[in-house]
Amino acid sequence: MKLKQLEGLLGGLDQFPNPKVELEQYPTGPHIASRMLFTAENSFEDISNKVVADFGCGCGTLGVAAALLSAEHVLSIDIDPKSLEIASLNAEELEVDMDFIQSNVMDLRWRGQIVDTVIMNPPFGTRKKGADLDFLNVALKVASQAVYSLHKSSTREHVKRTALRDFNASNAEVLCELRYDLPKLYKFHKKKEVDIAVDLWRFVPGKHQS
Amino acid sequence: MRLLTHNMLSSNIKGVEKGFPLRIEAEKVVEKPVEMNADFLRKMFEKVEWKAFLEASRSMGYAQLPEEVDSGMLESDEFLSRFHHALLELHLEEGALVCPETGRRFPVNKGIPNMLLHEDEV
């Protein structure tokens, strides 16, 4: 599938009608989502024929993108039932088969090393400090092959240090810097549109103890 | 929810030591055909906990999997297609996952298990 085609398909997905501030529900736009998954597949072969998990899936965009790029099994997790409802309709709309679980990403307990790749657009941690790194910590324990994640560019050094030193990642690399257009979703946003710089990361988990 | 997902989940309640496998209470099972990928199945065979998978498939009403398995069976197309069917085509649509230690039920509605914990379970 071509990048433009993927972006086009993702552009038709439904997004949060009433985003929840406390969960930092920002939609992952089709521009960013398509580039993230396209890179994961075409540069690293981390998607097709793999088991892929989406942490904090929201309306399901990243998982749907993985399924469109021929992931064998996609498991998307979110705490919010409304998001999961939309995500599962989105999957149906594009006729892709995905599994969903309603859970706090921090609370799930996993058996074995079945997940190959974790993809996620975690809460940036502006409301709940460190939330993005909490997600990353779990992702690096669950994935056997790679973790793709978005973090604010302003936190680049901190993310790198924490991943390598505290989360046992064997590699942490910024693949590209993207502009994240946040439409004015919440009352506390003063400007009409906020444009922030985010990094697309690829992390390689360290060797797991079995 | 596919049985592949079931095979990677444990009960996550605080204090539970042996939370795997979650018992399946099936009220409604649906089948969604997908294309078979033999290489993927061979890789998954190494990772799946067979006994849990076997029991899970039975509680979903599918009794075509052998009790004992070895990797030699991966040469058999018949075995592969049964393994494929149980692993990826059967979906628990309505029912529950039950913690083997505490009996706590996690309901499954429209195919989505609700694994949210109560405050005193975290």
Q: Which numeric CATH code is attached to B3-121?
A: 2.20.25.10
Collect all residues of chain A within an 8 Å Cβ-Cβ radius of residue B114: 81, 102-103
Output the pLDDT for position A14: 86
pLDDT at A207: 82
The pLDDT of residue A19 is: 73
| Assigned token pair, A179 | 């502009």
Find residue B113's DSSP bridge partners: B108
Q: Mean pLDDT throughout A41-49?
A: 98
Nearest to B104 by CA among B118, B92, B90, B93: B118
Residue with more model confidence, A20 or A11? A11
* Residue B33 tokens, joined: 């055909």
Between residues A29 and A133, the one the model is more confident about? A133
Radius of gyration of the CA atoms of chain B, in A: 15
| Mean pLDDT over each residue of chain B, to the nearest integer | 96
Say if the Cβ atoms of A102 and B113 lie within 8 Å: yes
CA distances from A46 to A49, A205, B63 (A): 8, 13, 34
Give the number of residues written for chain B: 122
In whole angstroms, give the CA distance from residue A149 to residue A132.
Answer: 9
DSSP string over chain A: --HHHHHHHHHTS---SS--GGGT-----HHHHHHHHHHHHHTT--STTSEEEEET-TTSHHHHHHHHTT-SEEEEEES-HHHHHHHHHHHHHTT---EEEES-TTT-EE-SS---EEEE----SSSSTTHHHHHHHHHHHH-SSEEEEEEEGGGHHHHHHIIIIIS-EEEEEEEEEEEEEEE--STT--SSEEEEEEEEEEEEE-PPP-
A3-205 CATH pick, 3.40.50.150, 3.30.450.20, 3.40.140.10, 1.10.10.10: 3.40.50.150
User: From the candidates A57, A106, A107, A115, which should be mutated to test the interface with B, based on the most B CB atoms within 10 A?
Assistant: A107
Q: A78-91 pLDDT, tens per residue?
A: 999 999 999 999 99
What does the pLDDT look like over B61-119, one tens digit per residue?
A: 999 999 999 999 999 999 999 999 999 999 999 999 999 999 999 999 999 999 999 88
What integer is the mean pLDDT of A88-104?
96
Q: Which two tokens stand for residue A45?
A: 């072969």
Amino acid in the structure at residue A119: I
User: Cβ(B55)–Cβ(B6) under 8 Å?
Assistant: no
Residues of B in contact with A79 (CB under 8 A): 116
Q: How far is A51 from chain B (nearest CA, A)?
A: 9
Is pLDDT at A64 greater than 90 in this prediction?
yes
Per-domain boundaries in chain B: 3-121
Using CA atoms, how far apart are residues A8 and A2, in angstroms rounded to an integer? 10
Residue A114: predicted pLDDT: 96
Q: How far apart are CA A152 and CA A126, in angstroms?
A: 10
Tell me the whole-structure pTM to 2 decimals: 0.93
How crowded is residue A59: how many other Cβ atoms within 10 Å of its Cβ?
27
Q: What is the pLDDT of residue A48?
A: 97
For residues A91-112, average pLDDT: 95
Return the residue of B nearest to A210 by Cα. Answer: B47
pLDDT digit string (tens) for A119-132? 999 988 776 778 89
For residue A107, the chain B residue with the least C-alpha distance is B12
pLDDT for the residue numbered A182: 67
Q: Is the ipTM of this complex over 0.90?
A: yes
Integer CA distances (angstroms), A74 to A69, A174, A185, in order: 11, 24, 28
Strands A169-183 and A146-152: unpaired
Torsions phi, psi for A108 (to 5 deg):
-65, 145
Q: Is the pLDDT of residue A210 over 60?
A: no
The average pLDDT across A60-80 equals 97
- Using one digit for the tens of pLDDT, what is the confidence trace for A170-200? 999 999 998 877 665 556 656 656 778 999 9
**Three-state SS for B29?**
strand
Q: Cα separation of A78 and A76, whole Å?
A: 7
pLDDT at A186: 59
